[in-house]
Chains A and B, each alone.
Chain A
Amino acid sequence: MAAPGATPGLMAELFRRKPVRSGEGGHAAGEHGDHLVRTIGTFQLTMFGVGATVGTGIFFVLSSAVPEAGPAVIVSFVLAGIAAGLAAICYAEMASSVPVSGSTYSYAYATLGEIVAMGVAACLLLEYGVSTAAVAVGWSGYLNEAIRNLTGAELPHAILAAPWDEDPGVINLPAVVLVGLCMLLLIRGASESARVNAIMVVIKLAVLAMFIVVALTAFQSDRFADFAPMGSAGVATAAGTIFFSFIGLDAVSTAGDEVKDPQRTMPRALIAALLIVITFYVLVAFAAIGTQPWQEFEGQSEAGLAQILQNVTGTPVWATILALGAVVSIFSVTLVTLYGQTRILFAMGRDGMLPRMFARVSPRTQTPVQNTVVVSIVVAILAALVPLDYLIDVVSIGTLTAFVVVSIGVIILRRREPDLPRGFKVPGYPVTPVLSVLACAYILASLHWYTWVIFIAWVAVFLVFYLLYGRKHSVLGRERGEETGR
């Protein structure tokens, strides 16, 4: 930090950190400062984790991942799950050492500096914004399946697929409609309560359990004969694709402030959530591969699980139930991720990293309306035009990179500020964060080259935007400037 009166150098400017003010992220003029009451127990926290994770990907990730790894995709699920779990534990320490509640962006800003926070923000835009688009695309497949089975009406393919899909259409209209609906709900200030979340968890797990049971009736062990046709490289590539379906596990970490006895509760809930999720995913993959040769997954991107049930049973009943469950639960996932995206941009707008418009609250609805509309339009365009496979991989690379930054951040913070009070410390330091970095890096290294190109270009655009705009408009920078008399 610059001494008073001195002109801060460029490095000091880029790595300036947002000081943590007491009471920040807390309360407005009212005196409802009691939100620090620790009320969340292990069970509820586990439900957050399961609720946030299941449903983001498992309903449609198999058609992308199985062709990459073959039956060994089961190993990929475990690998991706372990990497996500290690990262989430590091995330929890990061969250607990910064007494602001918020997303990774806020933690990075408070601990690692402005430019790192911007890099993390670029990753988070992929994790939330692009995943909202991906989830909406997946939703449209299941909606079509449900409509076809229930009414017999076939929606024209032109309005169901993106123009650059393998089977090209014109626009993915249901995905656009879904994003639009969620936008309206968010503008009106609707929110999903803990109770609705619990109901959604039950629905998702119930339809997945149904899938496993029904699909296992057609199980043939010889489907696993050629277990890893692509070798370990294929397993890692598939893990990268699958990583998408573990997004949301970090929701456990962000609740840190309100968790009872976090040192015990946090790892327990994380591990419990992770075990539940991995068990379900592995069983779903195991049952699905048992029903059909792994080569047949390719191209089954629309309502993949429902199609498998249809093939297995010969009646549309089970497929319809599964499709309806997916339609309901994916709707809630879209709402939550779109919400997350708007609130991250809101935080950035308040910090001056983005135009103030993003932090403007409508006096009428008291929600950030302009922000929500801009985000929804961009997400809707992505969902309308980009095929699912591309979206999924880009989401994974963004999330993995954010996790690597967080894991490295934990190590940096331990060295730089060893005495900082931490509500939660990573067990097995320094092995755990290092393992987390290695696991994420291993998966990252195996992603497709074009994913990397998209990702690097995106981060570069974002950082250039920061250097040209955010650096000068930073609220923190202006405050510092006033202090130093510039």
Chain B
Amino acid sequence: MTVVVGYIPHRGGRGALDLGLQLAHARAEPMVVVTVVPRQWTTPSLARIDAEYAEYARQVGEEAEKQARDYLTDTSVSVATSYRATPGRSVSSALVAAVEELGASTLVIGSSADGPEGRIVFGATADKLLHSSPVPLAIGPRGYRSVAAAGFTRLTCAFSDNPASARVVARAGELAEQLGAPLRVASFGVRNATMYPPEVGLTAEDSVLDSWAAQATAAQRQLVDDGIVAADVPCVIGTGAGWVESVGSVEWQRDELLAVGSSGVGPLARVFLGSRAGKLIRASPVPVLVLPA
């Protein structure tokens, strides 16, 4: 098994390399840095009209490899790393093809550069992968940097009260063992806005949130009772007026990883992100690993 890093030079690529290295090191797996380069036209042409273009594509691949190599030689950990440039018309489908060809365990990508530092931002590629990746997809916040040797200090699994989510928690438990990190279960609730005019008072939604929190706590306890997680796994509830506030209301460690299950609506055994999970990921202060439901 390998960790595949989707690498685009300059554009948030370093964050992906850092996260990939951290994951590969913790799981003692080799890492493959994949750069998707423009594909040439396969129609034969006597005049070789696309020769310059082919040259350009080759250079993009070489440049990317060189940059990644330069960066990775500085690191303190030794992970068997190989590089490849895959031609493809779409970055996401080329990455998926590479993942399937290499039999990868995880696909790692970085955040788009158009967004606030420290937040996970989906570009078009990330958005497509979040709905099509055949393997767990890791995505780091913009500008993510890690000390790979430190590994992960904790794996938090986002949990919502339903059977699919319980299965995700079980998978996250196995993953935490592989990563050598303790597991934590967290549920996040968002307080709905008050309806105006406030005919039933301005705090009606607080009691809805209270009820939700009580139900989530009970569901977390049920995880222990069902033997899905050990009794000593900490369970937390985050609440707030929005997703950022809700996620921010629980404490986070520096080298933590958040595992989120994808929706069961999409095709089987693929990552397919639900709308709420998408909001949760955008609010996360730490890298996120999206697991297929």
Chain A residues with CB under 8 Å of chain B are: 25-32, 35, 48-49, 51-52, 95, 100-103, 106, 128, 189, 191-194, 196-197, 248, 250-251, 254-255, 257-258, 335-337, 339-340, 343-344, 346-347, 350, 359-361, 363-364, 366-368
Contact = CB atoms under 8 A, between A and B. Distances in A.
Which of B160, B192, B241 has the most CB atoms of chain A within a 10 A radius of its CB? B192
B249 A340 contact: no
A250 B191 CA distance: 24
B241 to A, nearest CB: 6
Contact of B201 (A31, A102, A193): A102
B119 to A, nearest CB: 20
Contacts of B199: 52, 103, 128, 248, 250-251, 254, 336-337, 339-340
Nearest to B246: A30
14 contacts: A28-B206, A31-B249, A32-B239, A32-B245, A35-B203, A191-B195, A196-B196, A251-B198, A254-B202, A255-B198, A255-B201, A340-B195, A346-B204, A366-B189
Contact of B202 (A29, A35, A346): A35
Contacts of A250: 199
Question: Which of B161, B203, B209, B210 counts the most chain A CB atoms within 10 A?
Answer: B203
A336 B195 contact: yes
Interface string B172-208: 0000000000000000011111111111111110111
Q: How large is the interface on B (under 10, 10 to 19, 20 to 34, 35 or more residues)?
A: 35 or more
Contacts of A26: 203, 206
Nearest to B187: A363
Contacts of A102: 200-201, 203-204
Given A28-B189, A103-B200, A363 B207 contact: no
Contact of B208 (A31, A103, A248, A361): A361
Given A28-B209, A364-B160, A193 B196 contact: yes
A253 to B, nearest CB: 9
A95 B203 CA distance: 13
B222 interface: no
B162 interface: yes
Contacts of B213: 28-29
B197 A336 contact: yes
Given A191-B192, A366-B189, A366-B190, A343 B249 contact: no
Contacts of B202: 35, 101, 254-255, 257-258
B9 interface: no
A48 B240 contact: no
A27 B206 contact: yes
Contacts of A49: 197
A248 B199 CA distance: 7
Contacts of B209: 27-28, 366
A359 B207 CA distance: 9
Interface in B75-132: none
A93 B236 CA distance: 39
Given A101-B201, A102-B200, A189 B192 contact: yes
A30 B239 contact: yes
Nearest to B212: A361
Contact of A360 (B194, B204, B211): B211
Given A48-B197, A254-B198, A340-B200, 4 more contacts: A28-B213, A32-B240, A197-B196, A343-B200
A363 B162 contact: yes
Contact of A191 (B194, B201, B215, B239): B194
A480 B211 CA distance: 21
Contacts of A32: 191, 239-241, 245
A196 B193 CA distance: 13
Contacts of A360: 211, 215
Contact of B211 (A35, A51, A350): A350
Contacts, number: 144
Interface centre among A27, A31, A363, A366 (most CB of B within 10 A): A366
B276 interface: yes
B274 to A, nearest CB: 8
Contacts of A364: 160, 162, 276
A254 B189 contact: no
A30 B245 contact: yes
Contact of B200 (A194, A254, A257): A254
Contacts of B212: 28, 361, 363, 366
B238 interface: yes
B293 to A, nearest CB: 13
Nearest to B263: A364
B220 to A, nearest CB: 11
B21 interface: no
Contacts of A343: 200, 204, 208
Contact of B237 (A25, A29, A100, A361): A29
Q: Which 7 A-B pairs have the closest CB atoms?
A: A52-B197, A363-B161, A101-B201, A30-B239, A101-B203, A197-B196, A251-B197
Contacts of A27: 206, 209, 239
B204 to A, nearest CB: 4
Contacts of B192: 189, 191, 366-367
A144 B246 CA distance: 44
Given A30-B238, A336-B195, A363 B219 contact: yes
B48 to A, nearest CB: 57
Contact of A346 (B161, B207, B219): B207
Contacts of B276: 364
B238 A29 contact: yes
A452 B129 CA distance: 63
Nearest to B236: A29
A197 B215 contact: no
B216 interface: yes
Given A29-B239, A32-B241, A363 B203 contact: no
A224 B137 CA distance: 76
A197 B197 contact: yes
A193 B193 contact: yes
A258 B198 CA distance: 11
A483 B7 CA distance: 64
A219 to B, nearest CB: 33
A366 B265 CA distance: 18
A340 B204 CA distance: 9
Contact of B203 (A48, A257, A339, A366): A257
Given A28-B213, A361-B208, A344 B198 contact: no
A360 B215 CA distance: 8
Contacts of B189: 28, 366
Contact of A51 (B161, B197, B200, B204): B197
Contacts of B160: 363-364
B197 A248 contact: yes
Contacts of A359: 211
Given A26-B206, A366-B190, A339 B195 contact: yes
